[in-house]
Chains A and B, each alone.
Chain A
Amino acid sequence: MAVAPTLNDIRVIAPILEDKLKLDIYNFALSFLRRRFAYVFKQLNIKNVSYFIDEIKKGNLVSDFLYHFNVSDTEMFRDPSFWRTLRNKLLPLFNGSNINIWLPEVVSIHELFSLLVILREVDLLESVNIYCNSPSKNIIKEIQDGKVPLKTIEVSKQNFKRLELHSHFEDYFLEEDNTITINKEFLKNVIFINNSYFNEGPGNEIDITLFRNRMIYYNSKLQTKAENEIFKYIKKGGFLALGIRENISKTNSMLLETHDKNEQIFKV
């Protein structure tokens, strides 16, 4: 049976992971670290902490750790009113010009595929560059495969209905042999960056950044650090979308104006 590391164990593990992955593990929220390490250890069937540390040092468990550590999205079109706002209010502001969009920490297909569908709906799929960071090769591979996890389909379909579109879910997703995939052509303008956004940015100025429900796992210090990293790339007049129960840190709150309070969209 897998063990659940204690906070003391995590204090030992954190600097090793920081050294190996350049990931500021220790500044994630403490309660999150406790349960996420327990989750990762269970997924990897880790039976003792020393074994995990040794394997990380040897580089053997690094990709598995990166795959499991970040919390995956569990549905497409989460908070449908956000996607309606993006479609009806935010994207029209760009008036058909080319748009650079950034997902600094893509963790599954869900957020990206939701975005691709909305862009297709407003006929902007050909007018965008979408930059997606992930330190996990496995996550990028999963996205490129275009497969939607079956267990998330029902809730995604329900959310899709709430988008109030004229199209149907099946117009975008092909169901075949018990698998649901997105048209891979949709991924044509998606640029994957196999690195943490702390270590490598999109290399371009960004119009819209979607960073919903990622900083809720950070403590305040790491949130401020993350915001500073992201602000480097957002154009003057560009937008940042957070989760609907997230806020910009107090330190940085003066740097942005609230564009849409209900959807937590901020303008630089």
Chain B
Amino acid sequence: MMNRKASYYKSVVIGGSAGSFSIVSKILAGIKSDFRYPIIVCLHRLKHIRSGLLEGINLKSNLPVLEPFDKDNMEAGKVYLAPSNYHLFVEFDSTFSLSTEEVHNHSRPSIDYTFSSASTSFREKVIGIILTGANKDGATGMHEIHKKKGYTIVQDPLTCDVDTMPKAALQLFTPDQILSPDGIIEFLNNL
């Protein structure tokens, strides 16, 4: 476990694809309601369906979940879900920016883009978590967080519906921890 002072981190970023909806729901249902960091969630999702995912995640979450508008400020204790058909970026001033640039790894939103921008803006003060998923998007972004000394957690491939995404990350670097969904919840609640 880390030995960091209180409020060291600026955000937690979570990425996932196939099978990750239930894991994210479980994490947000298990997290304490006084969690003090913003959580940014980037999931691969159907581009033409605007609603449903947000409402579904919000149902069980202990923290309010919202889809940010461009230039919205990030606030502690809130969960920000990347909107469908936009890439989501983190700026230096803790605001969000959106983009309709080309899909990356067949995805918009792209997990790589969100993770990389968070690591550029917050450097070592980011916790990156990659979950179950069916393509390699997110692996490069996690590697960026790792290279900038952020804290990295990969979901244990044995607990994944589809382990392509975590395994792609594990091929690039050795994360700080490999955890089950319950382990991720425990880790976050002990921050």
Contacts and interface: CB of A to CB of B under 8 A. Distances in A.
Given A39-B101, A162-B48, 9 more contacts: A31-B91, A31-B117, A32-B89, A32-B99, A73-B100, A158-B48, A220-B71, A246-B70, A247-B70
A78 B85 contact: yes
22 contacts: A29-B89, A31-B89, A31-B91, A31-B117, A32-B89, A32-B97, A35-B101, A71-B101, A79-B50, A81-B50, A159-B48, A213-B100, A220-B71, A243-B70, A244-B50, A244-B83, A245-B68, A245-B69, A245-B70, A245-B86, A246-B70, A246-B98
Which 3 pairs between the two chains have the least Cβ-Cβ distance? A216-B70, A31-B89, A29-B97
Instruction: Bin the interface of chain B by size.
Output: 20 to 34
Interface of A: 29-32, 34-35, 39, 71, 73-74, 78-81, 158-159, 162, 213, 215-217, 220, 223, 243-247
B8 interface: no
Contacts of A162: 48
A245 B98 contact: yes
A260 to B, nearest CB: 14
B186 to A, nearest CB: 33
B182 interface: no
Contacts of A243: 70, 98, 100
By secondary structure, the B interface counts as: loop
Interface in B28-80: 48, 50, 67-71
Given A80-B48, A245-B86, A30 B92 contact: yes
Contacts of A71: 99-101
Identify which of B70, B89, B117 gathers the most chain A CB atoms within 10 Å of its CB: B70
Contacts of A159: 48
Contacts of B83: 244-245
